[in-house]
Amino acid sequence: MKLESIRGTIAEFVNELDNTIFGIGITVTALTVIGFIFWEETATTLTGNINTFLWTELSWAYLLIMFCAVVFVLFLILGPWGSIRLGKEDEEPEFGYLTYFVMLYSAGTAAGVVFWGPAEAIFHYQSPSPFFNAGAASQEAAIGAIQYSYFHWGLSAWSAYMTIAIPIAYLAYKLDAPLRVSTLIAPLVGLDNLDSLWAKLIDVTAVFATIGGVATTLGLVGSQFLVGLDYVAGVQMGDAGTVMMITGLTVAFTLSVSAGIKKGIVRISYFNMALFSVLTAAAFVLGPTSYILTAGTQALGNYLDQFIAMSFYTSAGSDSSAWVGNWTIFFWAWWFSWAPFVGLFIARISRGRTIREVSIVGVFASTGITVPWYATMGGSAIFFQQTGRADILGVISQYGGEEAAAGYPLFDALAFGEILMVLFLILVTTFFITSADSSTLALGMLTTGGEESPSLINRVIWGGIIGLLASVLMVAGGVGALQAAAIITGGPFGIVVLVSIYSMLKLFSSRYDVIDEHQLPSRKQVSTQDD
């Protein structure tokens, strides 16, 4: 019986695969891992050169595409299409608002928020953006540092996700299209042509982007976990230990939460958000509360006032032109590389909600909880550095410039610091779990033609290979290699974001009359609309 069960599990795995998508994804990832293991210097140089070309020559494209995504999502919220339901007209949402939000936020950028929250503002404070023309370590640099943290983690990032999630959810739950990224081009090619070359190309691009984006995240958060072990407990891992630790954790977490969305991801997401809130409140109350409120409020006002100017700023011609490439373009590319994975996950949990609900919760509620975190973490880090209460930059330097080290001296400087540091390390670990589980779920969906619950074998394979890639990149080139991976893989999917916007314009336009949900396009209507 046991042997038959194993055979059945293997058969399920083989039968569910989209061999083209799975094969290309595994091959590209495996070749990348092999390249960095055996030809580390050549691979690092090549990715560095490609990365430099992209952010120097095409930075304008990343900025323009992201701004288009923001404008379009605002139109969806304010315009007539916001009332369209992602499902049948009388269908109730699968998840309540709170459950929906904690899953969406945990899967979205929360792992990155935990990594960069204590680190980003202190780096901008030390090396300000040329946008402000402020001196290093000045008060203007401090406000600008928090402002740019809001900018990088606010409205723009979440808007990119919405442009992917909404058309997939609408077509999947209204017209029974497969739950995969290529579904978003159905209004352009027809529902009956989602196995065409164009659809395969979209899915391959989605897998390629997701691999780079998820590897970047797991590498960054994994490094934060390893630094935390050393800082809190004095446990050090060599290069081999790092590879085994991150790869093993990824596979173990994938196995541990394989119970699915309702039992696995929901529970961990609630725990994440509860601990996230506790740490935010503790740092706010025990830290420089007045400075956090003053600096954070001014930075928020500047962010809203200068949003458009920041969205188009390239620092062209300045002596610090690399700043935008190293920061804004990296983050925009990272969001593009996460858009297929997060967009697909948001689509999976959005059944029964309206476009307006999904957009408001996804963009404004998520930004609303991110702003206090960055005001508190960034404000505290800068204040402690200014006053000498904690030498956060010094600790970062001790760890070879690793941004991952920023959070531990910050919490160590607070009352009950030892407890807070341990809680922070736990939060890093649980967000790593969420990222590993939800990303392998999405990769499984992408490589099986849209299965909502891919087999455990599929997810373990992806968990192992993505964890291995993340750890190899981290060992080979550190944060620089991880950033290059995100920019290189995220760029092509930025084009898919534009395609998705155009597809939604066609799908939701009056020619399909989707405002009246009783007049939905049939598969034949969609596929022959342009005949």
DSSP code of residue 363:
I
Q: For residue 318, what pLDDT is reported?
A: 58
**For residue 158, which of 168, 150, 147 has the smallest C-alpha distance?**
150
The C-alpha atoms of residue 341 and residue 413 are separated, in whole angstroms, by 37
Q: Which of 56, 119, 8, 19 is nearest to 392 (CA)?
A: 119
User: If residue 355 lies in a helix (H) or strand (E), which one and from where to where?
Assistant: helix 355-359
Does the pTM exceed 0.85? yes
Nearest to 269 by CA among 108, 146, 150, 132: 108
Chain mean position to CA 60? 21
Backbone angles phi, psi at 375, to 5 degrees: -65, -45
Report the topology of domain 17-65+82-88+107-528.
Amino acid/polyamine transporter I (1.20.1740)
Question: Rounded CA gap, 480 and 488, in Å?
Answer: 12
Q: Return d(Cα 202, Cα 183) in angstroms, integer.
A: 9
Q: What is the DSSP letter of 452?
A: S
Nearest alpha-carbon partner for 326 in 341, 315, 317: 315
Read out DSSP for 85-108?
BSSSTTPPPSS-HHHHHHHHHHHH
Enter the tokens of residue 108.
């979205």
CA–CA–CA angle 122, 127, 129 (5° rounding): 105
Alpha carbon 527 to its chain centroid, in Å, reads: 33
Check residue 133 and give its pLDDT.
Answer: 87
Name the DSSP class of 253. H
Q: What is the pLDDT along the chain (531 residues), one digit of tens a residue?
A: 466 666 666 766 667 777 888 888 888 888 887 888 778 788 888 887 887 788 778 889 999 999 999 999 999 999 999 999 998 888 889 888 999 998 888 877 767 888 899 999 999 999 999 999 889 889 999 999 999 999 999 999 899 999 999 999 999 998 888 888 999 999 998 888 888 888 888 988 888 888 887 777 777 777 888 888 888 877 777 777 777 877 777 777 666 555 555 566 777 788 888 999 999 999 999 999 999 999 999 999 999 999 999 999 988 665 556 889 889 998 998 899 889 888 988 998 999 999 999 999 999 999 999 999 999 999 999 999 999 999 999 999 888 777 888 989 999 999 999 999 989 888 888 877 777 777 777 788 778 876 767 777 887 888 888 888 888 877 776 666 767 777 788 888 999 999 999 999 999 985 444 434 333 344 444 444 443
pLDDT score recorded for residue 492: 87
DSSP secondary structure letters along 51-62: HHHHHHHSHHHH
**Secondary structure class of 40 (helix, strand, coil):** helix
Burial class of residue 222 (count of CB atoms within 10 Å of its CB; 0-12, 13-18, 19+): buried
pLDDT attached to residue 142:
96
Exposed e or buried b for every residue in 312-347, given b needs 16+ CB within 10 A? ebbbeeeeebebbbbbbbbbbbbbbbbbbbbbbbbb
* Beta bridge mates, 85: 354
CA 55 to chain centre: 19
Who's near 294: CB < 8 A, 6+ residues apart? none
